[in-house]
Structure 1
């Protein structure tokens, strides 16, 4: 596999695929952060998580069209407002779904899987009816176009650097929320012992609704970032939901650090293997590797330690 390339060529290939893997890593992390909060902290298998991401992507698309038509002078900064609107739209829909559907299915993981799978089909059809079956693309501001020339053979796209920077900022914010805020302490208390948390005055229903809403809101931001590297269609979210669950389970369902480490490992492996094999073969090899590791360590790379 490597014999047809010189050492310099291999170095350039690994560097380019490494940067491409970092962009894929960014999408995985943004998707997995929201899913880790919902699945890891609440035990809810949300098969509609990809559709919350696509809602954020469509909100970004609509925002770009609005700025192009009515505020062309402010078009270079529309993306920052689009991310906020994507978070609000996906988060609000998530809280509504939790109130109408999810709160009746806690501690019934198979039922949540079936219910959210049906929700994903409903949302896909809604997107198809509203936006059409064809994929749509977002026009990026001029300052996001082009690439940074690292060497003569290595270029890094500017929009990819922006997505990676955005991912790091959101990861830091989520970490602060989970481990340094009163809401994070309440979430962890509910996870460890829901009955005791309620006994000491924590409104567990409110915590659940906020947790689900924030997890879906982060997925909406992932959708906004997704528009920079791909086109948006009604079923685009389903392309990432399996990989996202794989990232969360492999890293440890309740570990923020595990989610990041897992996303980095899987994205880098897939990006490098895709160059030397094919996209489908790279996914198969990566999946086999993850399954083998989980057979040896079923709790994932990092597991939450709980005193029994």
Structure 2
């Protein structure tokens, strides 16, 4: 597999694929952060999480068209406005879904799984009706185009760097929110001991609704960043939902550090193996490796100590 390459070529290949893995890591991490918050606190398996991501992507697409048509002078900053719109739109939809559907299915994991899977099909058909079956893409501002030449064989795309910076900012923000803010502390209290949290006056139902909406909002931001590296279609979210669940389970539910480590490991492994092997074989080998590790450590890479 490596015999046909020189050491210099292998170094360049690993560097380029490693950077591609970092871009995939950024999208997976944003997706997994939202899912880990929902699954870790509420035990809800949200099969429509990918569709919330795609909603954020479509909102970014609409914002791009809006700025290019009516506000061309501000087109250079539209993407950052689109991120805010994507978060707000998916946050509000998440709150509505929790209030109208999820709250009636707590402690019924199979029913929740089937209900959210049905919701994902409804959203896919809605996207297909509104935006059409074909994939759409956004137009990036000129300053987001191009690449940095690290060496003669290695180039780093500007949009990939922006995706990673946004991911770093959101990850740090989520960490600070969970550790320092009042709502974050309430969320952690509900995770650790729901009954005791309710006994001391925390409205656990409101915390659940906010947590589900927050997770969906982060998925919307993931969708906005996704538009920078790929086109958006009604079923694009399904391409990432399996990998996202894999990241959450492998890292350990409700563990932010575990989610980061898991997303990095899986994205780097897939990116490097896809260059030397086929994409499907890379996924198979990654999945087999994760299964073996989970057999030895069922709680995942990092586990959160929870009082029962």
1:284 aligns with 2:275: no
Aligned residue pairs total: 308
**Equivalent residues in 2 for 1:29-178, closer than 5 Å:** 29-178=29-178
Cα distance per residue 1:105-150 (max 9 Å; x no partner):
1111111100000000000000000000010000000000000111
Q: CA–CA distance in 2 between the matches of 1:271 and 1:261?
A: 15
Q: CA–CA distance in 2 between the matches of 1:107 and 1:307?
A: 18
Cα distance per residue 1:29-77 (max 9 Å; x no partner):
0100000001111110000000000000000000000001000000000
Q: CA–CA distance in 1 between the matches of 2:254 and 2:63?
A: 34
| Cα offset, 1:235, TM superposition | 0.3
Unpaired segments of 5 or more residues in structure 1? none
Q: CA–CA distance in 1 between the matches of 2:261 and 2:41?
A: 18
Contact in 1 for aligned 2:17/2:272 (Cα 8 Å): yes
Runs of 4+ in 1 over 2 A off after TM superposition: none
| Cα offset, 1:307, TM superposition | 5.0
Task: Please report the TM-score for the alignment, with normalisation by the length of structure 2.
Answer: 0.99
Q: CA–CA distance in 2 between the matches of 1:153 and 1:112?
A: 49
1:226 aligns with 2:219: no
Distance change (3 Å), C-alpha of 1:211 and 1:307: closer
Corresponding residue for residue 198 of structure 1: 198
CA RMSD between the two structures: 0.7
Task: Please report the TM-score for the alignment, with normalisation by the length of structure 1.
Answer: 0.99
Corresponding residue for residue 303 of structure 2: 303
1:239 aligns with 2:236: no
Q: CA–CA distance in 1 between the matches of 2:153 and 2:144?
A: 21
| Cα offset, 1:182, TM superposition | 1.1
